[in-house]
Amino acid sequence: MKLLVTGGAGFIGSNYVRQVLSGAYSGSEKYEVIVLDSLTYAGNPANLDPIRENPKFEFVHGDILNADLVNDLVGQSDAVIHFAAESHVDRSISGSREFIMTNVVGTHTLLEAARTTGLGKFVHVSTDEVYGSISEGSWDEECPLLPNSPYSASKASSDLLVRSYARTHKLNAVTTRCSNNYGPYQFPEKVIPLFVSNLIDGKNVPLYGEGNNVRDWLHVDDHCDGIHRVLEGGRAGEIYNIGGGTELTNKELTGLLLEACGADWDRVDRVEDRKGHDLRYSVDITKISTELGYTPQVDFKSGLAATVDWYRNNRAWWEPLKNAPLA
């Protein structure tokens, strides 16, 4: 069974590819994987080095906006998992065009290819940020989309395109919405690798505003397990939230990272809050747990410790990325 993975050289996509080709999931031995990635700043070929020689792996350097290439690759495939996206909120605030092109137009290009080639299944990987901000309780999949940043608006738009193709064209398409991911190989502009790499180097870390924004943290291994369960058993046209179950304020997270790196609060710079900064995210995972048997396996304490150790031991991976010219 041939599986096309878009954005498979990025943080989450490469983790999924490494897992599926190493036999981490029940039934994963049946898959051959084609990775399609344009290798923008957050796509790193080194993320795929552990499985590069696997005979079931193929890498294609290309853009999901290239309709001819996408049609060819989707036509060869039995299923698509669509990770490819521009995903950093701050970048979307300073310039949103690439987010619209990749996240909206790119998703449409893939959906059109899936429709015209009769693709077996399309799994669209999205985010809890499409729901907006929630003061109490948790979002289930029926909650309205109320995005507040250009990034989350572009992802909400892509979610609605996927829904429309499932309803109008009867495409076997499913959407997942995850909470905040962490783990090895995450590009060092995101909060955990940024803070850890800065603290390792004796630098300060920036904390937005009062640090009261709350996020639900999800280890990338658990996220990818949830995605594979959706690939194998998710119902056509449905949405599945995937969360980790650990809610922390950014200030609480900062304290844990300082402790893990042997640093004190004098290493924290308070900076002006992000424009339109959502206060709290929280997803209800009852649906995926009940239907597909998903349960987060990585507790946050051990997952964070292992992540910090990985960055401490893999400077050769992250240092060139931090020192590269801003894309």
**pLDDT for the residue numbered 49:** 97
Query: Is 151 one of the catalytic residues?
Result: yes
Q: Categorize the per-residue pLDDT at 179 as very low, low, confident or very high, splitting at 50, 70 and 90.
A: very high
Q: Is residue 25 part of a domain?
A: yes
Q: What is the mean pLDDT of residues 22-29?
A: 93
Q: How far apart, in Å, do the first and last CA atoms of the chain sit? A: 36
Query: What is the average pLDDT across 309-316?
Result: 97
The answer to whether position 312 is within a domain reads no
H/E segment holding residue 90: helix 89-94
The answer as to whether 326 is a domain residue is no
Question: How does the average pLDDT of the chain come out, rounded?
Answer: 96
Per-residue burial over 122-136, b = 16 or more CB atoms within 10 Å of its CB, e = otherwise: bbbbbbbbbbbbbee
Q: What is the pLDDT of residues 132-178, one digit of tens each?
A: 999 999 999 999 999 999 999 999 999 999 999 999 999 999 999 99
Give me the residue label for tokens 């909060």: 191
What confidence category does residue 94 fall into, taking pLDDT thresholds of 50, 70 and 90? confident
Q: Which domain holds residue 66?
A: 2-181+219-245+276-298
- In a domain, residue 200? The reply is no
CATH of the domain at 138: 3.40.50.720
Is 157 contained in some domain?
A: yes
- Known catalytic membership, residue 185: no
CA torsion sign, 52 to 55 to 56 to 58? Answer: positive
129 among known catalytic residues: yes
Ramachandran bin of 177, using left for φ above 0, alpha for ψ from -120 to 50, beta for the remaining angles: beta
* Active-site residue identified among 37, 63, 86, 129: 129
Q: Considering 37, 63, 128, 221, which one is annotated as catalytic? A: 128
Domain assignment present for residue 187? The answer is no
Catalytic residue among 16, 31, 151, 311: 151
